[in-house]
Structure 1
Amino acid sequence: MRQEKYGVLMVNLGTPEAPTPKAVKRYLAEFLSDRRVVDTPRALWLPLLYGVILPLRSPRVAKLYQSIWMAEGSPLLVYSRRQQQALAASLPDVAVELAMSYGQPALPQALARLLAQDITRLIILPLYPQYSCSTSAAIWDAVARSLKGYRRLPSIGFIRDYAAHPAYIAALSASVAHAFARHGRPDRLVLSFHGIPQRYAEEGDDYPQRCDVTRQALAAALDYPAEQVLMTFQSRFGRDPWLLPA
């Protein structure tokens, strides 16, 4: 009987390879061309993206990246890589690879490295605690595209999210409790989640509900009245209504 061999593909959003306008433009072009992220008809969206948004936003966004760039590189990549290394160390018999939905390390190549190890079971782990069609589902799309050229596939498991997983809530509550110990317990605790267009939620994306699941679980873990833990959304992009409150 063939012995099972597991592989884990950890996937985060992505990052420019350098904090320069050219690298940022390349990254944003890939990111904002994904229909899961922006589903405006291509005939309308792509001329706006390449003719207006990328030329104007890339230099501004590059300056923001420069303000947070680490000696080791992009913070998102640095910390995602550390997560990969920690998971690999705790699961020595499991092949663990890191990929980004956009940019490097690219998902098709990371997936190819796992399949080259003759794994029989593949776990896809999006590094998003709350599911959204614009993030987690985009990973599923990319995995499916990447697997089209393979004759033999492993069994595949996809971790949809872990909005209320005890380990995730414990990590959040420990971080918040540490802040309380330093600064005191406030009257209100404000949680800021990345936003999505309101229309996506109206069309079935349960992201706001998954964020609220996290809010309630964190309030319970902190023994905090749920009504005093507020949920807000940030990072609006474009003119369409996004989730509120902002």
Structure 2
Amino acid sequence: MGKKPQIAVLLANTGTPDDPSPEAVRRYLRDYLKDRRIVEMPPFIWLPILYGSVLRKRPAKSAAKYRQIWTPEGSPLVVHARKIAESLNERMEASDLPVRVEYSMCYGNPSLDAQIRKIVAEGIEKLFILPLFPQYSPQTVGSVMDTVGKTYRTLRNIPATRTVKRFCDRGDWVQAMAQHVRNYWAEHGDPWSEAGKLIFSFHGVPEECVKEKGDTYQQECIDSSKAIAAALNLTPEQWETDFQSKFGPHEWLQPYTIERAKTLGSEGLNRLDIVCPSFTCDCLETNEEVDLGIRKVYEEANPTGHFHYIPCLNSTPGAIDFYERLIRDELQGWL
């Protein structure tokens, strides 16, 4: 029997609809796309577009995509987050640490707001918020901290709070990612044996966020790719860094993964492997956009080619080992 929890670790991710119906997807998209961290257009311009067009057309299309990846246990993002929390709680109890791990979503359930309120109501006064985003961006980590701030403004008893801004600069994350890729290649063969290539595909953001507003996200993605490639002993010709998930009419960070997959396929590249180091858990953007959508684009450009999507760390033993080390490091002085 472990000690009574005195510290809570709250994993935080972006979110997912409660189910793959158009109605649930509309609720999720409404909350997600209303966040000014996500869409930085002035509300008087964006909200009429959101309610007048986007929320009328996109929910049905997105719901169809969610249905392709939905599991009997629910949304992949929630399933993986739950398993991470459960595995970490087993580690904490085995070590007799007074720590409980919960998971939450900025948009969707269980909500970050509700989880914080539950933790405070139980009398836990030390809280470590762990955004599950290796690189920092205002749209991810910034949004998590906005939500925390909004909740705290309504609470009288605020817990002592710690967080991390990023963890892509930790050597053990780089090694965990590299070993994860090695494990995949050990089972499926590596791309070089088939004259192939590895793409590190990161979630994109509008170019203006970097060029005009000075965000460091693009450089952190590039540095992450370089570090993982070095740990894998790759040559520059064996890999590249691209960006996915473009939304709206504006230019986003480039090269676009989908365009590079089509080009490489049309050039006759025999094998294309893609791994997504900005995602800790598989979700719509990895399982549907990459493993289904970009796979189709590549295979249509090269019908004899071989496409491999390397899953996220998810709740693999290597991921749990990394999160346990990170938590122990960040809780020094509390334990």
Same fold (TM > 0.5): yes
User: 1:98 Cα deviation (Å)?
Assistant: 1.2
Q: Distance in 2 between matches of 1:52 and 1:87?
A: 42
In the alignment, does 2:251 pair up with 1:245? Answer: no
One-letter code of the match for 1:132?
S
Task: State whether structure 2 residue 193 is matched by structure 1 residue 192.
Answer: no
Determine if contact 1:95/1:114 at 8 Å carries over to the other structure: no
1:4-19 matched pairs, under 5 angstroms: 5-19=6-20
Where does the alignment leave 5 or more consecutive residues of structure 2 unmatched? 257-335
Query: Which residues of 2 match residues 125-144 of structure 1 at below 5 A?
Result: 125-144=130-149
- The TM-score with structure 2 as length reference comes to 0.70
Is the contact made by 2:6 and 2:125 (CA closer than 8 Å) also made in structure 1? Answer: yes
Does 1:205 find its partner at 2:215?
Answer: yes
For the 8 Å contact 2:135–2:166, the answer to whether it is kept is yes
Deviations 1:5-25 (A, max 9, x none): 321111011111111111101
Q: How does 1:8-157 map to 2 (within 5 A)?
A: 8-92=9-93, 93-157=98-162
Shift of 1:158: 1.4
> Which residue is 2:317 aligned to?
none
AA aligned opposite 1:183: G
What SS class does the counterpart of residue 135 from structure 1 fall into? helix
Question: What is the TM-score of this pair, normalised by structure 1?
Answer: 0.94
CA distance in 2, matches of 1:180, 1:75: 23
- 2:239 aligned partner, one-letter code: V
Q: Would the aligned equivalents of 1:87 and 1:96 in 2 still touch at CA under 8 Å?
A: yes
Mean alpha-carbon deviation: is it higher for 106-115 or for 219-228? 219-228
The alpha carbon displacement at 1:230 in A equals 0.8
| 1:173 correspondence with 2:183 | no
Specify the code of the residue in structure 1 equivalent to 2:215: D
Equivalents in 2 of 1:44, 1:96: separation in Å?
40
Q: Aligned pair in 2 of structure 1 residues 155, 55: CA closer, same or farther (>3 Å)? A: same
Which position in structure 2 is the counterpart of 1:183?
189
One-letter code aligned to 1:99: S
Provide the C-alpha distance between the structure 1 equivalents of 2:215 and 2:121, rounded to a whole number of angstroms.
Answer: 35
Unaligned stretches of 5+ residues in structure 1: none
Instruction: Work out the CA distance in 1 between the residues paired with 2:58 and 2:86.
Output: 33
- Report Cα offsets for 1:202-238 as digits up to 9, x if no partner: 2022111111221121012111125643110001000
Range moving further from structure 2, 11-20 or 159-168: 159-168
Equivalent residue number for residue 169 of structure 2: 164
Please tell me the residue identity of whatever aligns with 1:243: L
Between the aligned partners of 2:172 and 2:122, the Cα distance in structure 1 is 29
Q: Look up the equivalent residue of 2:39 and give its one-letter code.
A: V
C-alpha deviation, 1:153, in angstroms: 2.1
8 Å contact from structure 1 (residues 97, 114) kept in 2: no
Alpha carbons 2:135, 2:217 under 8 Å: kept: yes
User: How far apart, CA to CA, are the structure 2 residues paired with 1:145 and 1:48?
Assistant: 26
1:162-208 deviation line (CA, Å, top 9, x unaligned): 11323322232122213333233435321011100111112022111
The answer as to whether partners of 1:7 and 1:119 remain within 8 angstroms in 2 is yes
Distance 1:218 1:139 in 2: 26
Deviations 1:90-142 (A, max 9, x none): 12321222110001111111001111232232111001111110010000000
**Pairwise CA RMSD:** 1.7
SS in 1 for 2:31: helix
Distance (whole Å) between structure 1 residues aligned to residue 146 and residue 33 of structure 2 = 15
User: Quick check: 2:120–2:157 contact (8 Å CA) kept in 1?
Assistant: no
Counterparts of 1:167 and 1:226 in 2: how far apart (Å)?
Answer: 22
